[in-house]
A and B are shown apart, each in its own frame.
Chain A
Amino acid sequence: MLEIDNLTHVYGPGSPNEHRAIDGLKLSVAEGELLCIVGPSGCGKSTLLRSIAGLITPTGGEIRVEGKLVRQTPDNLAVVFQDYSRSLFPWMSVADNVALPLRRRDMDKRARREAAQEALESVGLLGAAEKYPFQLSGGMQQRVAIARALAYRPTLMLMDEPFGSVDAQTREDLEDLVLKVRGHHRMTIVLITHDIDESVYVGDRVVVLSKAPSHVVGDLRVDLPGPRDQITTREHPDFVRLRAEVGRLVRGVDVATPA
């Protein structure tokens, strides 16, 4: 589904404040997988995501989505940004925000409208369709952003610290929302987070990145019994073991790596 080979990105190459964000990163994501990427702050997670989305051109290496080399934004890809208040268009109603990307699809106005309604329903916001983003709480705004991505029916959804700016309760709700919608829509999800617990709770697999220049330092499969539950999953012995393992990797403490 997604192949990243030897990805390297240097900001301002040759300049005095040259910054090597990513160095020789290799990663492969299977179809239908929910991969969480964690790493210390400033480790180039966002650079990685923007490279996959074709928003920036990496200085080296290759990214392939569905076998095709990424040169510009791949079709069938959607991104959910951390900053929902800036990524929603404030001059449009919630329904129009969700329907806008569907202009890229071969859909008439009515079909777009229906798809938007359906996506809003799946995130529990059908009642807010005619409201404007500023009339909604932060958590609701991020639901709208997720609905917008879902309506687009991407095969690959990228989420850049999507729950980083909401309160703890809302965060848990949104985590469960992602797990729920993922069951309904077949898609591959790459979720970037700095929250170790979240990565283990949500992911099928957790990849840990090093500090910049970043590369993969850990790759763990999460085999937790489903469906996941905020209370029981988090007290499961495997959850506790995995989050400790991820935590050590993030801190850069060496653990006996299962070869």
Chain B
Amino acid sequence: MTITATLAGRGRISPSRARLAKYLRHATGVAVFILAWELAGRTGLISWLPAASTSLARVAQLAADPAFLADLASTLTAAAVGLPLAVLVAVPVGLLLGTVPVVEEMTRAIVEFLRPIPSVALIPLAMFFFQPEINAKVALIVYAASWPILINTLYGVRDVDPVATETLRSFGFGPGAVIWRVSLPSAAPFIFTGVRLAASITLILAISVEYVVGGAGGIGAFLIQASTGIGADAMVDVIATLVWAGLVGLVVNTLLLRAERRLFRWRHA
């Protein structure tokens, strides 16, 4: 009450107060969701659904479960290896396609053919070519995560302001320097957005491969084991694992969004 009074006296809402209000709204939404979940579970409205309290307690327990942590580490490792590799593959290719129109035209048909193929459908192929399974997992992650990075690099580079490139050229810089010093930094915000999209794809692919292949460790393998258990406990394990997967995705995305805002402050003039 006192806070409201002081603010009313000042006659306008401070930014920190506005932020607090925003967080409060977010928290309210989450609280309502959890409450509905709890009720749906407890009242038996959704018969198979374990209550929120039971599930979330299990989420906390998993944090101290060595078997789960090993699987989590395995999934995150695959994603953490795959994403930088995807950047290393996709950014140079995107730069090439974006700066040399002939190459882009020559490859367009192949790109448009390959892009819509669901990466999950490539699991058998990947298992055939890449052994052991961890290699297949990383290979698929690199493949799937490369697309958004490639496409964003391509469009980012095409979008580079010709005045900027001409400026550098007018000081006698060659094509290589123009790409390195103008095209790349100018496209960087696009590329980064592609990386952020790719990050969520790495998780999807890692868990899919683990789930389909099984035995290879990872959250996906943990899910298989959990779901082959008996009765309500199995469902609690499955849901707790899903919550973990969601949390990991949320944290990664938030960190990348923050980094994006920091790195590309110059864009928001």
| A interface list, Cβ under 8 A from B | 50, 53-55, 72-75, 77-79, 81, 83, 86-87, 89-92, 100-101, 104, 132-134, 152, 158
Contacts and interface: CB of A to CB of B under 8 A. Distances in A.
A91 B266 contact: yes
B215 to A, nearest CB: 47
Contact of B266 (A75, A78, A134): A134
B113 interface: no
A188 to B, nearest CB: 16
Of listed B164, B170, B264, B269, residue having the most chain A CB within 10 A: B170
Nearest to B173: A104
A87 B169 CA distance: 11
A73 B171 contact: yes
Contact of B167 (A72, A75, A87): A87
Contact of A83 (B163, B169, B267): B163
B266 A55 contact: no
Given A81-B163, A86-B164, A91 B171 contact: no
Contacts of B164: 86-87, 89
Nearest to B189: A91
Contact of B182 (A75, A83, A89): A89
Contacts of B172: 72-75, 77, 104
A75 B163 CA distance: 19
Contacts of A86: 161, 163-164
Interface in B126-171: 161, 163-164, 166-171
B263 to A, nearest CB: 9
Contacts of B115: none
Given A73-B172, A100-B181, A132-B266, A91 B188 contact: yes
B186 interface: yes
A165 B170 CA distance: 21
A183 B170 CA distance: 24
Contacts, number: 62
B175 to A, nearest CB: 11
Given A73-B172, A104-B172, A81 B167 contact: yes
23 contacts: A55-B166, A55-B170, A72-B172, A73-B169, A73-B170, A73-B171, A74-B172, A79-B170, A81-B167, A87-B166, A87-B167, A89-B164, A89-B167, A89-B185, A90-B266, A90-B269, A91-B186, A91-B188, A91-B264, A132-B266, A133-B266, A134-B269, A158-B170
B172 to A, nearest CB: 5
Main secondary structure, interface of B, reads: helix
Nearest to A83: B163
Interface residues of B, number: 21
Given A89-B164, A90-B267, A132-B266, A78 B170 contact: yes
Interface in B177-219: 181-182, 185-186, 188
Contacts of A50: 166
A87 B171 contact: no
A191 to B, nearest CB: 15
Complex A-B, nearest 5 residue pairs according to Cβ-Cβ distance, in ascending order: A134-B269, A101-B171, A86-B163, A79-B170, A87-B167
Nearest to A104: B172
Contacts of B161: 86
A55 B269 contact: no
A72 B171 CA distance: 11
Contacts of B185: 89, 91-92
A152 B267 CA distance: 27
Given A55-B166, A86-B161, 6 more contacts: A53-B170, A73-B172, A83-B163, A87-B167, A89-B164, A152-B171
Contacts of A90: 266-267, 269
Nearest to A90: B266
A209 B171 CA distance: 26
A152 B173 CA distance: 13
Of listed B164, B181, B186, residue having the most chain A CB within 10 A: B164
B209 to A, nearest CB: 37
A35 B72 CA distance: 70
Contacts of B264: 91
A104 B170 CA distance: 11
Nearest to B264: A91
A78 B163 contact: no
B258 to A, nearest CB: 18
A237 to B, nearest CB: 39
Contacts of B167: 79, 81, 87, 89
